Amino acid sequence: MLRSFDLVLIGIMTATAVVTYTIKHRADEKLIEVRRLEAEIKLEKDTIDLLKADWALLTQPNRLHRLIGTYNSELSLAPTEPTQLAMPKELPMLKSALPQPETTIEDIIAGKNSEVAAALKGVAAAKAKPAPKIPVPLARRPSVEVISTGSVKR
């Protein structure tokens, strides 16, 4: 006869079998996903290698020299002269080396500079003037004419 202890053990064995199968199934799914990702990575690496080889072929000096000879009349290319290269002292100043303005934002806000104060008064005067009237078009009257279209009889 089956005792209650045997039934509990059968239930525990069934539960562990289900859990084990679920874990195995998830592991198989992850393994399939890892293999798919590895295949995608290999494809991308192969594509990069192919593009590098293509770039190496396109930038071969012999090929470029032939192209220059073929399209010289359209391109009008000339070798770079040493005088075309800029020296460091010929480059523009760095932002940190730029001279600072005499008037600061605080001075402008406070109105300490007479030129700035005059400009602000001009702006205030311009704002005080009434805005010119903008003409508004009149509303259209409904048209009285009615165009009738006849149907084509076949």
Q: Tell me the pLDDT tens digit for each residue of 107-154.
A: 777 767 777 777 777 777 877 777 777 777 776 665 555 555 555 554
- Taking CA atoms, 111 is separated from 10, 39, 69, 123, 135, in Å, by 92, 69, 66, 13, 38
Task: Give residues with Cβ within 8 angstroms of 117, minimum separation 6.
Answer: 111
Domain that holds residue 39: 4-69
Residue 81 C-beta-side C-alpha neighbours within 13 Å:
3
Q: Is residue 26 part of a domain?
A: yes
> Residue 84 pLDDT more than 80?
no
The token pair that represents 95 in the structure block: 């932002």
Distance CA 145, CA 18 (A): 84
- Global pTM reads 0.41
Total domains in the chain come to 1
Q: Is residue 61 part of a domain?
A: yes
